[in-house]
Amino acid sequence: MRVLQIHNAYRYAGGEDSVVDSEFQLLREAGVQIRQLRFENETIRLGKVLFNGESYSLAYAEMEAFRPEVVHVHNLFYQASPSVLKAAKDLGIPVVMTLHNFRLICPGALLLRNGRTCTKCVGLKFPVHGVLHGCFQDSVPKSLVLSAMLGISNLSGTWRSRVDRFLVLTPYIQTIFANSSLGVPQEAIVVKPNSTGDLLGHQPAETEPRKGYLYVGRLSEEKGVEVLVEAFNAMPGTSLTLVGTGPLEERIKRNAGSNIRFLGAQPREAIGGLLRRSRALVFPSLCLEGLPNTILEAFSAATPVIASDNDNLSQIVTPGQTGLLFETGNPKALREAVTAFEQTNAEALGKAARATYESKYTHRQNLKALLQIYREVLSEK
């Protein structure tokens, strides 16, 4: 099988970029003939977000030369644009597209505004609220351009006519898109989780007891890191380690107590060690998220998760089984969750988290699902 993977990389590499590269390696190691066509956002030309002729020509030439049986698109924004979908369809090649976020139905991509979930634009052909509130990069003009692209694509049936299968990460996200302005039948939206490598299976057993709590991720507002620091500042006897960088880094460092340490960016191997030695991963995100790699890695390391109770994360972390939930955005509720966690059987929660990883989130299961989806769209062709 020949697969062309298309991805528009983000200016600041994140979990989505890691997923793309991980699936590329999985498919290549399985014997799939795979190439990656990668676009960069060094400059964002908003006038070409609907159709970028240069990207169309580049994608068309790559497909004509490689002759893929399937094109798998991850991120279109902004250089790639929907033009790459047209290139595939002009050549009669089936398209699979993973929806890592909510960009196709929300100019801000996160269904988040002012620290709260916002779904006002989900069912609108033209996401007018995204314009009124400047949801894209806090800019009304930029939001207008992006919203116009989404509106035109909705009205012209771009997503319905040029994508054969949409992949989403959880059943909750599937429901949102099935009832959105996307105009795609639910059977064309398939739940296919991400996967992560095993952080426990081939590691020597830890002899020291697990200590302290861990956060891994971007230090930014939507991730809830200010809620996290406020909660642990009120628990000076409980240690917290933060891994990652981001725009709020300096501010939260100034506000953090002596029980909170910052390690900055760390390689995956180091993060694996930290997860295996921590009592729990704390995931305080304010937004719905998709299927965070950090949570999957925690499950792999038999580490329970204390997470926000928003509608999507509550389907990933099962309270009392693989971790605990607390009211999103509430530092007091987070403190109470940590206190409650100290009274639980953390080892049992860790074992259940590990069992969840083995049943849902291994690379083997991801590969099997990907190949099955590719075969289905090929058989339909």
User: Mind listing the pLDDT tens digit for each residue in 152-203?
Assistant: 999 999 999 999 999 999 999 999 999 999 989 889 999 999 999 998 876 6
2-194+362-380 maps to which CATH number?
A: 3.40.50.2000
Fold of domain 213-360 = Rossmann fold (3.40.50)
**Residue 50 pLDDT:** 84
How far apart, in whole angstroms, are the C-alpha atoms of residue 185 and residue 187? 5
Q: Which residue has the tokens 């000076």?
A: 236
pLDDT in tens, the chain (381 residues): 999 999 998 766 667 888 999 999 999 999 999 999 999 877 666 678 888 999 999 999 999 999 999 999 999 988 899 999 999 999 999 999 999 999 999 999 999 998 889 999 999 999 999 999 999 889 999 899 889 999 999 999 999 999 999 999 999 999 999 999 998 988 999 999 999 999 887 666 666 899 999 999 999 999 999 999 999 999 999 999 999 999 999 999 999 999 999 999 999 899 999 999 999 999 999 999 999 999 999 999 999 999 999 999 999 999 999 999 999 999 999 999 999 999 999 999 999 999 999 999 999 999 999 999 999 999 997
**Residue 38 pLDDT:** 95
User: Mind listing the pLDDT tens digit for each residue in 269-316?
Assistant: 999 999 999 999 999 999 999 999 999 999 999 999 999 999 999 999
Q: Can you read off the two tokens belonging to residue 298?
A: 């925690």
215 three-class SS: strand
How far apart, in whole angstroms, are the C-alpha atoms of residue 311 and residue 271? 27
**Residue 46 pLDDT:** 65
2-194+362-380 and 213-360 in the same fold: yes
- Neighbouring residues of 13: CB distance < 8 A, sequence distance ≥ 6: none
Pairing of strands 116-117, 112-113: antiparallel
Please count the other Cβ atoms lying within 10 Å of the Cβ belonging to residue 138. 10
Strand runs labelled E in the chain:
2-8, 33-39, 70-73, 95-98, 112-113, 116-117, 165-168, 189-191, 213-216, 240-243, 260-264, 280-283, 305-308, 323-326
**Residue 45 pLDDT:** 67
Q: 151, 183 in Cβ contact below 8 A?
A: no
Domain parsing of the chain, residue ranges:
2-194+362-380, 213-360
